A and B are shown apart, each in its own frame.
Chain A
């Protein structure tokens, strides 16, 4: 075996996680190192590829998946975990817990008596100047007394091996969910090592978070607390984590407009009505949470939330306004506050920081400005952090002038030195700078620290900055247990018979509405693809049946699925991938993806995978227009993926209210399309044309059924029977009518409201149609036409009624999914 370490670059100026100063493997890494020595590069690279594949399959992203701009970025996870031994970890964990307690106490003071400000221990500039100091929250006492439920510290390791805090995360610390997902992948990649090394488990952290929120949530007698996770939505950079945590914690994932405040109480809008929410774990920034009392331009929050909090009716974690402690300017004041409040020292030191608001400190910072990192004190500033050593003379002078003009808004910080850790990349071991984010959660007996955390890795070899926003990756963090308890592995709370739930009571109406549209768009894409394929095949083959092609083109134009004028080829391109044609297949696929992204939490992994596949195909198509043959090929593959999607809907989803609306959406869409398409066909020129009947069967996906039944070329009466009246054929109008009737009946049984009878009457008329009249020569050509016209008109009525039904359902079930707006008067 080649010595993998031999080629490992080793910068002795930095601490190396794996190697000591003399280049020897550190003791707690020995076992892992041995394992690496017994592997060859090909094996390791293969494992790295497996890791990457799991990430892709699990849909783990940092940016957003179904982003219309396609800016989603897969999560980067290195094959090798970072290892931290038990004793060192004990020091880190104690220090992080101590810091969490301190910051919680500081918050309670700032939103309470403000003694720290009065006594001069904190500058008013850093508090009142911070846009996340929320004035209307002054005086609010959170239920349970905790302000900081979740906390994270960003740590860096200096060359002497000590860990330093470079930033406190007090608002909505992100990343713990990614850490958990990293763990699930990497522990399976090295299962024996994971067991042998006795790696501490992560589960109890998440259980504590759950318990804390549940136990502190204010409840009226007899109520079971409902905790929800509030996300800004799918465009947020860590949306995947919101989904993942919500699933893991068992909290419904909601957006601001899923919630409403009535009588100072927070409610979730569900199909079955309003359900009280007792606690809110938020991933939404402080000032966005309530457009009534906070930022009035925010559409993401819940109007009135603050009043519900003020009245003690709901717990918000972390407390609103906790972001004020994220100012880097505070770092230098914490040791004295710790001393003042608790009479002891901070165990984890903060990196050297100069808040420029004090004239002598400003001068100190200016003296050594060239070596420092300059940060904005407040997030509202339009100033990005600057490494002053990257500036030339003029740049430095400009920066210094800026600091002098408004000193209190700037913080100078020593440039953190980062430790190096081994990563597996390009088939060899390399070193990269790392940083670690460590999480703490409040519990009944103090703060508990997640034994692991998120290790972040610099993007390039020389880089000394680690931040997800600037690229770079992550690692699993293995805290070895030593003699200590491992903690509990991920094991859900045992559920008994009394816990059985047969129906999700917390399905937000918005999700249901999106499922409804997801169903409609999926079916619509399917319908459009079939019709365009009918045309495309005949056009490409240059068929000698011009009548059939023309009739299909007429129909598509009538249904607004083919733009009006011009060469057929241009029109087809437009209809398929036209960017400015609102009814194009491409536009509808985008709508499908949009609604899917809203309901991602409700779709199975496989289901989502099929969607991603469709999306990938669509992107390819957009990039490279190709020729008609390629488009035909695309349509065939797309129809396959769409039918997989429809299969998942039938076989893979729980039959809850969401599923029922999804299916109703599909059925309405198909009914409308079939009815309109057959009507158009019957009223058109090819009604009795054999080639026309052939494509009508294709459109109704019934060619094979017809052939096996009749073993003959299509003829009008049996084709119509199959597509209109056959109750066994899911592509028959009456089949869809019956299924819809059943689904609507169930809705009105469950939710009350008048039964939907409009379609029933039309269905009865359809079933009463005697196809025999088409058989009788008695009536002649004119009589035949009259019968076809009558049938066509009836089908159009059905299509119209289906559209009206959709509108009525929207009004009845989703009407409260309405936008709110701000008003202001002088």
Chain B
């Protein structure tokens, strides 16, 4: 019996082998490779012959005046993205739901999902052009109201908000999908009963619509906790310049510059490990909470 069972299971195990090997090489070996955070890593010597330096890379990092600024920028941008990335799609989904199933609704959906599918290289190019202070479309438009040209991508007062706003612009539409799906599960008879009770539209939204999608809102909010250190590398890398390092440099862009431009591999890995460990804790907590609160399971 046991042997027969084994024979039946063997093909299943074999199916996993290629995936296991690839994941081992390209995900687990780099995890082990993080120990170069404790080395003065030199590529020609490799992981086994580079000099061990203990916590020196971390000390170097925490003594860097930029480090705290960068950490703050990261958290600031990421948290604002999380907050508005929740509120805006919820509001738009509720408003869209009011339109009913019409052609107009489908057209609106088609248009607001679109930016999600374009990469930040493309949209970066678009934004650089339309946000230009000399003759970009946005500043020309603001000029109609006698507003002086704003250097959105070169002014430290504006840069973080330009990043947050343009990210919301790209993703809000696509994020409505989850809430629109949740809205369809609300029983229509609830609204009919509310109308008989004399509840107006505003009341209906507060006491039927929002409670109806609250589980999904809580789930999305919980899962987004894991992104507190993800300020959006792709976006910032394609929009920032030395002019705005002060307000726009984030952990991921710093890791890139320290590691791949300056070739300080040990320091960059230390920085990466710092980020990975905190993110790991945050993501684990968020999944655990989502499991406890909403019975959400990854698999």
Partners in one complex: no
